Amino acid sequence: MTDLIATRPKLAFRFDRWAPALLLAIALLAYVVIALYTGQTQYLTVDNLISVLGRSIALGITAVGQTFAILVASIDLSVASLISAVSVLTSVIMNGNPAMVLPAIAAALALGLVVGLVNGLIITRLEVNPLIATLGMSLIIQGCLSAFVSNFAGSVPPEFQVFAYGGFGSLSYSLIFLALLAVAAWFVLRHTRFGSDIYAVGGNKDAARVAGIKTARVTIGAHILCSLCAAMAGLYLASRLRSGAPWIGSDGVYDLESIAVVVIGGTILAGGRGGIWGTMAGVIIFSLIDSIFNLAGVDAFAKQVLRGIIIVAAVAFYAVRSKRLVA
Amino acid sequence: MKKILALALAAGLALTGAAFAQAPNFDDPAEFARQKALLTTTPMGPADMPWEQYLVDGMKDTASFKKEGPYTVCFSNAGVNNPWRVVGFTDLQQEVALHPEIGELVHVDAEGSDDKQIADIDDLLAGGKCSILIVSPNTTAALTPAVEKACAVLPVIVFDRGVNTDCPVTFVHPVGGYGFGIQGAEFIAANVKKGANVLMLRILPGVDVLETRYSGGKHVLEDAGLNIVGAEFTDGDNAKTKSIVEDYLQRGTIDAVWMDAGATAVAAVEAFQDGGYPIPVFVGEDQQDYLQTWQANGMTAIAPTYPTYQWRTAIIAAVKTLKGEAVPSPEWILPQPAITMDTLDKFVNPKMPPLHYAMCGCEAMANYPTAWGGQ
Amino acid sequence: MTEQTLPHADRRKRQLPQINPVYFVLAALIVAIVVMNPAFAEPTGYMNFLKRAAPLAILAAGQLYVIVSGGFDLSVGSVITLVVVGSSILSNNDPNSTWWVIATMFAIGAGVGLINGLVVCYLKVPSLIATLGMMITLNGVAFMWSGGSPRGYLTDQFRFFGRVNISDLPLIRILPVALIVLIVLGFALYWLMHRTNLGRMIHAIGDNPRAANLAGVPVNRVRILAFIVSSLSAVAAGIMLGGFAGVSTDVGTGYELQAITAAVLGGAQLLGGRGSVPAAIAGALTLNAIFTLLNFLGLPQPIRQVVQGLILIAAVAVAMQRRKHTGR
C-alpha cells in the first residue's frame, strides 16, 4: 500500500517528462510519412529540417518568455502588441543608421522591462486577474502604437539584418540565438533560486508565501522575463522584415500561439509544472505542422480546423489523466 | 526605477517624432497625374480581353527563361483571407486549367503573415522543383529580400502589391489606388451641387492601396468645392458601417457617400433606407450585392474596380515567360475600368454570391459560375 | 440541495443594500452623451443605441454563465460568424426557410456548447484552451463551408429580429424588434440565473467546485449547461447581428473579448462564484455608451482601444478593492 502511494507520483512525473518528446516524435513521423507519401523526398534533408526549425524563431523566443509567465500561474496576452511596438520602436530609432543599432536594442529591452514591470505590478499590487490585466495592457499598447504609426516605419540597417538573415551555412544566427536563450531559461529554472521560487509560487502561492518566498516579486520577475523575450522577438522580426509595422504581432497571433505551444509542451495553465524543453518541443511541433500542411497542400481553411483540434487534443493528451477539477 | 521611466519616456518621444518624419508618402502629385492619365489611355493587346491588355509599352525578352514543359508553377500567396482574394484565387486556378503545359500548381498560403510568407518562399526554393515563382506579397517592404533571393535562382512574377526591386520578370497590377479614388470622386463631383456634403468611408489606415484611394478621392472632391463632412474607418465591418452612417444622418444631411472599398456598401445604403432617407449619390465597388442594390433602387452610382482578373494575368505572364515569349515589363499595367450606370446591367448576376467581384473577367471560363460559388 | 448549495447566505444579505456601481457609471455616461448630442434623447437616438447594443448585451449575459461557473468561453465570436455565414447558405433566399434555419442554428449552438463542456469536464482541458481551440476550429469551419466568402443572402424574415423597427407607436414612436428580443431573453437569463436551482448551482461550482461536489451538485452537468447557455446566447446574438447588418465572414471577430469585458464591467468575478445578469447587460450598455461618447468626442480608434484597456483594468481593480472592504 505504501509502495503504491510512493510510486504513483513518480509514474505521473515520468509521463509528464516524456509526453512532449512523444508528441514531437509523432509530429516528426507524420512529416516523414507525408513527405514520402507525396514523393517529396527532397524535403527530408538535414538542411531542410533546419529550415523547418527556422520557421518559428519569433514564436519560439516569445514562447520561452510565456513559459515563465504560465509557470508562475499567470499568463501574458500583451506579448503580441509588445512585439509590434518593439519592432516599430527599433526600426524607427535605427532608421537605417548602423550607429543606432545598440541604442535601439537598449530602448527595445527597456520598453520590454517597463511593460513587464507594469504587468507584474497590476497583477500583484492591484490584484487584477492576469488575463484581464495583460489584455488591458495589450489594448493600451496597441492603441498608443496605432495612434502614431499606421504603416511600416523606419528601416533596419543591413548590419542588423544579419540577425535574421545571417548564419553559418544553413544554420542561422537566429536559430542559434533561440537555442542559447532556451538553455539560459533552462538554467534559470533548474539551477537558480529564482527558478525554484517560480515553481513554488506557481504550484501553491499560499504555501510559497508561508515558506518565506516573496511571491509578488517572483511574479513580477516572471512577467519581466516574459516581456523581455517578447521584446527580443520584436527585434528579430524588425530584422527579418527590415522595418517595423504596427500589425506584425497581431498578424502572427503571437499571444495565443505562444500560449498554445507552451501548453502543448506540457506546462499546465494552473502553473507550477512544466518546463522549457516542453515548450521547445511545442514550437517544433507547430513548425512541423505548418510544414506538413504545406507539403500535403492542405488549404488554409482546413488548416485552421485541424490546428484548433490539434491544440485541444494535445492538451487533452496531458490533462485527461489528471484528477483535478478544471474550469 | 526613475531611470527606467525616463528612458521609456525618451523612447516614446523619439518614436513619436520619428514616426511622423517617416510617414510614407501617399500624396504624390506625379503618381496622381500618371494614374489619372492611365485611366483614359487606350490599352494595347487583344480587344475584349482586358486581362491580356497592357497600358504601357515596353516588353522584356524572356528567351533566357525558356523551358520545356510540363511546368511546375509555384505560387506564394499572401492569403485568401478576404472575398476579393477568394475570387482572385479562383480566377488563378481556372486560368491554370486552361494551360495543359502547366503540370502542377504548388500553392502555399501565408495566411496574412509576412513572417510566414518569407518562410514559405524559402521552403519553395529549398524544394527545388519550381519552374517559376509567382508572388502576391503580403506587404511590399517585408517581402523584398525574399523575392530578391528567389530572383537569383528562378524567374519571378509579382502581382497585386509590389516589391522594392526590379529583379522580377514583371510586376502585374492594374492602374492603382489614385485611379480608383479619382474615378469615384469625379462621378460624385459631376452629380451633386457645389458645396454638397460628402461622407467618406474607409476600411482601415495603413494599407498602401487604400491610402492612395483616399488621397486621390479627397483631392478631387476638394478641388470640386465639395464639403467633406467626415472620413471614418469602418474596419470593413457591416454593423459598424451602418452605425456610422446612422449617426451622421442624425446630425445632418448627406448628399453623397464615397467608399474606398465596397464590401460594406450595402450596409451603408441600408442605413439610408431604414432611416427613411433618400439614397444619395454612391461610390461602391464591383461586389454583386452592391450592384444588385444599385439596380433594384435605381441609384445614381458608380463602382470603380480593382479587377480580380489580374490573378489570371499572373499565370499568363508566367506561361509566356517559360515559353520564352516577351512580356510587358518592368510593369504590366492592366486597364482598371469602372462599372457605370450604362454598363451596370452587363455585370449584375443574382446567381452569384453577394461578395463576388464582378470585374473578374471570368464569365466565359469553363467552370463559371459554379467554381466562383454561383448557382 | 437545500441551504447547503446557497453559497454564504449571510453574505447575500449583506450585499443587498449595495447597488452595483456599473449602473451609476452607465447613467453618468448617458447624461454625458445627451449633453454632447441632444439628438440622443430623441427616440431614434436612444432606440438606435439600444438596438446596436442588444447583441452584445445578450452575449454578455450568456458569457456570464460560464464566467460564474469559473471558466471562459472564447468561442462565442466564432459561433456568431458561423451562424451568419451558415444561415445565409442554408436559407438560399427562400423566405419559408427562416424558421427551420433558426432552429438548426440553435441546434448547432447547443452542440458547440455541449462539446466545449465535455472537453472541459471529461478531457480536463482548461476552458481557456478548449474554447480557444473551438474558436479556431469554428472559424475554419465557417470558411470551409463558405469557401472564404459569403455564399448567399439572408432573407428579410431572418433579418426581422435585428433590423426592423416597429414604428408609429405613441410616446416612444419607434421600437426596435431587437430591443424586444433583448428584454425577453434578458429576463429569461435573469430568471434562470437568479431564481432557479440551476443558477444557485452554477454559483456554487464557481465559488468552490470541491465543496459543491461534496454538497451533491452534479458539477459536470451544471458546467456543461453553462457552456450550452453561452453558446445559445451567441446564436441569438448572431441572428441579431446578421439581421442588423447582413452577411460577412468576420462578423463575430472580437466579440468574445467584448463579452468578457462587458461581464467584468458588470462586476462579474473571473474564475467564478459571483455575477449578475442585469449588471452584465448594464456592462454591455456601458461599453457601447463609452464607444458612442468617444465617437461624439471625435476621438479616433486607437484612443478607443486605450480607453477600453484602461477601464478593463480599472473595473477589475476597483472590484477587488471593494471586495476587500466588504470582507472578502
Q: Tell me which long-range contacts C3-9 makes (C-beta under 8 A, separation of at least 24).
A: C4/C215, C4/C216, C5/C197, C5/C200, C5/C201, C5/C204, C5/C212, C5/C215, C5/C216, C5/C217, C6/C200, C7/C200, C7/C203, C7/C204, C7/C207, C7/C208, C7/C273, C8/C207
Residues of C in contact with A142 (CB under 8 A): 302, 305
Does pLDDT of B122 surpass 70?
A: yes
When pLDDT is averaged across residues C92-115 and rounded to a whole number, the result is: 93
- Length of chain B, in residues: 375
Range of lowest pLDDT (B14-28, B288-302, C264-278, C288-302) = B14-28
Is B7's pLDDT higher than 70?
no
Question: Which chains have 3+ CB pairs within 8 A of A?
Answer: B, C
Which segments of chain A have a pLDDT < 50? Answer: 1-11
In this complex, the residue of B236, B275, B354 whose CB is nearest that of residue C150 is B354
Can you give the pTM of this predicted structure?
0.90
- CB contacts under 8 A, A 61-90 vs B, are 88-89
CB A126 within 8 A of CB C299: no
Q: Using one digit for the tens of pLDDT, what is the confidence trace for A42-100?
A: 788 888 888 888 888 999 999 999 999 999 999 999 999 999 999 999 999 999 999 99
Q: Which residue has the higher pLDDT, A294 or C327?
A: A294
Nearest residue to A244 via CA among B69, B114, C189, C22: B114
Pick the residue from chain C with its C-alpha nearest to B244: C295
Do the chains contact at C151 and B373, CB–CB below 8 Å? Answer: yes
Alpha-carbon distance A85 to A231, whole Å? 9
- pLDDT digit string (tens) for B39-82? 999 999 998 899 999 999 889 999 999 999 899 999 999 999 88
Confidence band of C5 (pLDDT split at 50, 70, 90): very low
pLDDT at B24: 63
How is the beta sheet containing B281-283 ordered, strand by strand?
B227-233, B197-202, B256-259, B281-283, B301-302
Q: Tell me what pLDDT residue A323 has.
A: 65
Task: Provide the chain A residues 217-276 that lie in CB contact (below 8 A) with chain B.
Answer: 237, 240-243, 245-248, 251-252
pLDDT of residue B20: 44
Residue type, position C262, single letter = A
Q: What is the pLDDT of residue C4?
A: 43
**Looking at chain C from residue 77 to 136, which residues have their Cβ under 8 Å from any Cβ of chain B?**
88
pLDDT band, very low/low/confident/very high, at C21 (cuts 50, 70, 90): confident
Average pLDDT over residues B351-373: 92
Nearest to C241 among B239, B246, B353 (CB): B239
H/E run at residue A105: helix A101-124
* pLDDT in the model for residue B88: 96
Neighbours of chain B (3+ CB pairs under 8 A): A, C
Distances (CA, A) of B284 to A189, B200, B291, C155, C200: 58, 11, 9, 22, 53
From A152's Cα to the closest Cα of chain B, the distance in A is 8
Is the per-residue pLDDT at B19 higher than 50?
Answer: no
User: In this structure, what are the phi and psi dihedrals at residue B103, rounded to the nearest 5 degrees?
Assistant: -75, -40
Distance CA A285, CA A293 (A): 12
> Which pLDDT band, with edges at 50, 70 and 90, does C17 fall under?
low
Q: Which of A9-13, B141-145, B320-324, C165-169 ranks highest by mean pLDDT?
A: B320-324
Q: Which three cell numbers stand for residue A311?
A: 491544440
Hey, are the CB atoms on C305 and A143 less than 8 Å from each other?
yes
Q: What's the whole-number mean pLDDT along residues B216-230?
A: 95
Please give the Cα distance from B157 to C187 (Å, whole number).
60
Of B20, B115, B206, the CB nearest to A151: B206
Cα–Cα distance measured from residue A202 to residue A197, given in angstroms and rounded to the nearest whole number: 8
Question: Which of B81, B239, B353 faces C152 most closely, judged by CB atoms?
Answer: B353
Residue C327: pLDDT band with limits 50, 70, 90? low
Of A133, A312, A320, the CB nearest to C130: A312
Cβ neighbours of residue C64 under 8 Å, at least 6 residues apart? C189, C193, C263, C266, C268, C275, C276, C277, C280
- Residue A15: per-residue pLDDT: 67
* Residue B149: closest C-alpha in chain A: A165
Q: Indicate if the pLDDT at residue B1 is higher than 70.
A: no
CB-count exposure of residue C216 (10 Å: 0-12, 13-18, 19+): exposed
Tell me what the mean pLDDT of segment B131-151 comes to.
93
User: What's the pLDDT score for residue A2?
Assistant: 38
**Model pLDDT for residues B202-221, shown as the tens digit of each residue:** 998 878 888 999 999 999 99
**Mean pLDDT across the stretch C141-170?**
88
What integer is the mean pLDDT of C220-226?
A: 96
Flag if A319 and C301 touch (Cβ within 8 Å).
no
Residue at grid coordinates 519569433: A58
Specify the DSSP element, H or E, that contains B107: strand B102-109
At B99, the pLDDT band (50, 70, 90 cuts) reads: very high
User: What percent of chain B lies above the pLDDT cut of 70?
Assistant: 94
**How many residues are present in chain C?**
328
CA distance B196 to B128: 59
Which residue in A150, A152, A294 is closest to B108 by CB distance?
A294
| pLDDT (average), residues C206-224 | 92
Q: Which residue of A has its CA nearest to C146?
A: A301
Chosen from C80, C248, C250, C287 to mutate, greatest number of chain B CBs within 10 A: C248
Kindly state whether C150 is in contact with chain B, defined as any CB-CB distance less than 8 angstroms. Answer: yes
**What pLDDT, on the 0 to 100 scale, is given for residue B2?**
45
What's chain A's average pLDDT? Answer: 89
Question: Residue B5 pLDDT more than 50?
Answer: no
